Amino acid sequence: MTYRRRSPRRGGAGFFFGSGWLFADLMLALAAMFLVVNVSGEGLTAPSSGRNGPPDPGHRTLGPQNPVPGTPTPPTSEPTGPTGSPTEPPAKSSQLVAQPITFAITVDYDKLGAADPDTIAGARQEVRRQMETLAPRRHAGVVLTFAAAPVEKVTRAIDLAGRFNEAVLYPIREQFGSAAGFDRFWGGDGWNQIRVRIYFFA
């Protein structure tokens, strides 16, 4: 009677061969599960806290949308006027009137340059009088000061116009309005004469 010995080498190879296929099948199944979970968004996705996604349906935040029970709900619409548009305070126009007013003041240039108190006080009084007569309660947008002088003294004239603004006009800015801007120019041939040109808001 003849016996055949079973080779352990072949059996070991078959075991490892079958185990390899089993491991491959298991990895394929896990990969399929991973794809399904990522496509459907279910299973492994943590519940959103509302920071990077929609809030939890069971979470409730007190506020205008969810007031405390029993408290009155504030109105959501603005009060309207007769035409149904929101009521607002009237705004001051930002457009300047094209036609300015101009008045002239005689000023001793030497005393103005020396900041003589009487000369400055008299010039301020004359400016107030002109403003109250020509443009009472109007808001100035631009105030231009022209100092007359010969051509060879243009630089001196512009400097005197600036001194007039600083010493006479700036301290009485309330006569013109808080939005007024001031500038200085040469006013042509002459001497000891200041012309003030004012453009007002509409």
Domain coordinates of the chain in residue numbers? 11-37, 101-200
pLDDT of 74 reads 52
Tens-digit pLDDT string for the chain (202 aa): 555 555 555 555 454 444 444 555 555 555 545 444 444 444 444 444 444 455 554 444 444 455 555 555 555 544 454 444 444 434 456 789 999 999 999 999 999 999 999 999 999 999 999 999 999 989 999 999 999 999 999 999 999 999 999 999 999 998 898 778 999 999 999 999 999 999 999 8
Residue 80, both tokens: 């309207």
Bridge partners, 105 (sequence order): 194
For 103, 136, 196, 198, 202, the CA distances from 100, given in Å and listed in that order, are 10, 14, 10, 5, 11
Architecture of domain 101-200: 2-Layer Sandwich (3.30)
Per 3-state DSSP, the chain is made up of helix, strand and coil in percentages (nearest 5) of 40, 15, 45
Let me know: does 142 contact 199? Beta carbons within 8 Å: yes
Distance separating the N- and C-terminal Cα atoms of the chain: 130
Question: CA neighbours within 13 Å on the CB side: how many for 131?
Answer: 23
pTM over 0.75: no
